[in-house]
Amino acid sequence: MTTLLLLITAVLTALIGGLFYAYSCSVVLGLGKLSDTEYIKAMQSINREILNPVFFMSFIGTAVLLPVSTFVFRGQQPVFIFLLLATLAYLIGVFGVTAVGNVPMNDMLDRFDISGSTADAIRQMRESFENKWNFLNNIRSLFSVVSIALVVCACIWNREV
């Protein structure tokens, strides 16, 4: 059962890391080509649609299963250390950055009324949002990759495999 838990943890960590990675190396590049109005509309739509059960299963599931896996593998070195580091990387660099950085920015953007705004106001909103949001997403991507690598190491060194 512990090996199954570790594998599920690895898959969820990889899924959420893949989401942030794919966003960083493809979606933001495409969004960057849009006009200011199109960009704001697209980001508002994406930020609303990502709030779905599949996303929450991977995002919250990883935040739950990493600490649970770490606890289950306590005393089993080096698996425990890999999982502890993966947990810290995820909770701080992915979950924390999302909660403290990206989500408040998404909420601010969601409240922005495009139809009642001038072109200048829309441009200013994009300028205050896009680069900072992309930077935070790159941080999430980096920490996701670190978490995945550490969970893979835990899988490799797991004695029950």
57-63: list long-range contacts, CB under 8 Å, 24+ apart. Answer: 57/12, 58/12, 58/15, 58/16, 58/19, 59/16, 59/95, 59/98, 61/12, 62/9, 62/12, 62/13, 62/15, 62/16, 62/90, 62/94, 62/95, 62/147, 63/90, 63/91, 63/95
The pLDDT assigned to 103 comes to 97
Location of structure tokens 């898959």: 11
In this structure, what token pair is assigned to residue 75? 């005393």
The pLDDT assigned to 161 comes to 47
From the CB of residue 13, how many other CB atoms can be counted at a distance below 10 Å?
29
The pLDDT assigned to 91 comes to 98
The pLDDT assigned to 159 comes to 74
Give the whole-angstrom CA distance, residue 80 versus residue 58: 22
Give the whole-angstrom CA distance, residue 127 versus residue 95: 25
pLDDT in tens, the chain (161 residues): 899 999 999 999 999 999 999 999 999 999 999 999 999 999 999 999 999 999 999 999 999 999 999 999 999 999 999 999 999 999 999 999 999 999 999 999 999 999 999 999 999 999 999 999 999 999 999 999 999 999 999 999 997 64
The pLDDT assigned to 148 comes to 97
Nearest residue to 62 via CA among 41, 85, 86, 45: 86
Give the whole-angstrom CA distance, residue 26 versus residue 144: 17
